[in-house]
């Protein structure tokens, strides 16, 4: 199944995703493509697929993305084939994406579970962004301006979890995923079709 993890920048989405994959050998992370420059320590193909703008737009035009969105002037998207291959292999595909991408996935009718991670407070989010040292003051301000819209969009997700303790947060997300997979398995047993949205994608 597809699991969408969204939330404001700095809330810990990537860390939660990494812990989930460490704990579950049938969980895989969908590696997003982006036109932004790599941050310190990021590796192409491991953290993101780093694209030139022209290549990204060409692949969007060809329908090679499951979802895509523009965030802070940069393009982000989920390559379609790896996600679908993992889905067909009965893996839990973790998509760490923004709320615009999450809305696209929700509308595709892929039986996805949408989880929104929330910070304990706005002040704690500012502290996290400052501590990681990857953005300056102007960038942090720009990201915080987006937070209110993201929080409003998060209301439409299946589940919202406050990440005030990493271990507790990971366990809560993990349980939600296992419960959702059990529900899908029961539907399959009674003959209900799953992932109907694949047909919309021509797959």
Query: pLDDT digit string (tens) for 50-79?
Result: 999 999 999 999 999 999 999 889 999 999
* Dist. CA 163–CA 171, nearest whole Å: 11
CATH of the domain at 6: 3.40.50.300
Give every CB contact of residue 94 below 8 A, 6+ residues apart in sequence: 3, 5, 17, 20, 21, 27, 28, 29, 30
Q: At what angle do helices 99-107 and 137-154 cross, to 10 degrees?
A: 30
- Domain of 34? 2-193
Query: pLDDT digit string (tens) for 102-135?
Result: 999 999 988 999 999 998 887 777 777 777 666 6
* Dist. CA 91–CA 70, nearest whole Å: 28
| Assigned domain for 199 exists | no
Report pLDDT for 133. Answer: 62
Report pLDDT for 80. Answer: 94
Mean pLDDT computed over 13-27: 96
| Assigned domain for 96 exists | yes
Q: Judge residue 170's burial from the number of C-beta atoms within 10 Å of its C-beta, 0-12 exposed, 13-18 middle, 19 or more buried.
A: buried
| Assigned domain for 27 exists | yes
| Chain center to CA of 96 | 2
| Assigned domain for 203 exists | no
| Assigned domain for 201 exists | no
For residue 202, pLDDT beyond 70: no
| Assigned domain for 198 exists | no
Report pLDDT for 134. Answer: 61
Report pLDDT for 166. Answer: 97
Kindly state the DSSP code that residue 32 receives in the 8-state scheme.
P
| Assigned domain for 46 exists | yes
pTM for the model stands at 0.85
The least confident of 23-27, 134-138, 197-201 is 134-138
| Assigned domain for 25 exists | yes
**Residue among 145, 146, 166 at smallest CA distance from 154:** 146
What is the total count of domains within the chain? 1
């Amino acid at each position: 199944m597809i699991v969408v993890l969204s939330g404001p920048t700095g809330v810990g989405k990537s860390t939660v995703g990494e812990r989930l994959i460490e704990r579950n050998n049938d969980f895989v992370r969908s590696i997003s493509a982006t036109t932004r420059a790599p941050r310190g320590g990021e590796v192409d193909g491991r953290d993101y697929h780093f694209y030139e703008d022209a290549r990204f737009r060409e692949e969007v035009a060809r329908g090679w993305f499951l979802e895509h969105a523009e965030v802070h002037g940069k393009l982000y998207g989920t390559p379609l084939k790896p996600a679908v291959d993992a889905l067909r292999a009965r893996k839990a595909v973790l998509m760490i994406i923004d709320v615009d991408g999450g809305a696209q996935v929700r509308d595709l009718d892929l039986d996805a579970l949408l989880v929104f991670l929330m910070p304990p407070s706005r002040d704690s989010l500012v502290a996290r962004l400052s501590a990681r040292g990857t953005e300056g003051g102007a960038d942090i301000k720009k990201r915080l301006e987006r937070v209110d819209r993201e929080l409003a969009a998060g209301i439409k997700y299946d589940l919202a979890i406050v990440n005030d303790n990493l271990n507790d947060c990971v366990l809560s997300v993990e349980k939600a995923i296992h419960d959702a997979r059990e529900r899908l398995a029961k539907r399959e047993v009674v003959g209900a079709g799953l992932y109907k949205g694949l047909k919309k994608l021509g797959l």
